Amino acid sequence: MGPRLRAPVQVTLVGTGHIFAIGDMVEEVIRSRDPDVVCVELDPVRLRGLEERRHLARLEAVGDPRAEEIRAAHHEAQRKMPFVYRFLAGTQEKLAEGEGVAPGSEMLAAVDAARRLGKPLGCIDVDARLLVRRVWKEMGFGEKFRFLWAILRGGGKTEVDTELAEYESDPVAYIARMGDSFPTLKRVLIDERDAHMATAILSLAEREPKVERVVAVVGDGHVSGMLKVIEDRLEGDALEVIRMRALRDRDLPPDPFPPRHQEADGEVAEGGASVSFHVDVPSSDLPDEAP
């Protein structure tokens, strides 16, 4: 555990689902909390990929002839990705289609909100391509077989809803059970990323004196693990947590912190130009053990 952060820093940790239509709620959190910086569970490559996919979809929707060339370039880029990465992305895309959204739409909503309000945007995740290569390399044969079978077996909306209900009833227990079947997957894709992203938020707050409030948008499965790192470093009640269930239920809690940068009419003031950056985390800053 590192030293306590300076008292003025306040963190709002927002748990989302990458296949649900909750982008408008994510935008509302950012607008109402008016942070100094918005952090997202993305690396620069994934951010660029999401934006390119959205651009392609818009061109296709209006029959723009440029769409074919961009689609070909996108497919070529995807072909160079690790097999497991493409496999997981395809599965997530199918699940998202069942909900009527594009995968990662809630992350793009956070990006759009940050840019609209002129807030700096911090990409706090590690390179997903390297992670997937590593997890596949470190998995034993049995875990690989169980993992591929679980993906191929899939399930319809009813099964997805059942899994979601089990997760939301007790996220910590659900992830622990997942770790029993897929220990390498949990360690590399969840535990280590929890520690990395939480440390990225804290490092950013420590080295930027003007940052007094951070909104971090991450997959809900990372919230519990990130809390173990963040809670040890924040003073008092400087942490707000908004879980995916609240966003899906459209039940946004009131802001627990006093208002800061607001106009006389109560509307949040829009800022200047937004910049995006990747938050580097030295290995020496990470916890000794993943949460």
Q: What is the pLDDT of residue 269?
A: 44
Whole-angstrom CA distances from 97 to 3, 58, 109 are 44, 16, 17
Q: Are 249 and 72 in contact (CB under 8 A)?
A: no
177 vs 281, more confident: 177
Q: Are 178 and 185 in contact (CB under 8 A)?
A: yes
164 vs 15, more confident: 15
Alpha-carbon torsion 279, 191, 85, 50, what sign? Answer: negative
Q: What is the pLDDT of residues 224-268, one digit of tens each?
A: 999 999 988 887 678 999 999 999 999 999 999 877 755 434 444
Angle (CA) 136-138-143 rounded to 5° is 70
- pTM for the model stands at 0.84
Q: Which residues pair with 268 in a beta bridge?
A: 262
The pLDDT > 90 percentage for the chain reads 40
Give the chain's mean pLDDT: 82
Least confident of 170-184, 213-227, 251-265: 251-265
Give the start-to-end residue ranges of the domains of the chain.
10-284
Q: What is the pLDDT of residue 103?
A: 78
Q: What is the pLDDT of residue 267?
A: 44
Least confident of 91-100, 128-137, 244-253, 273-282: 91-100
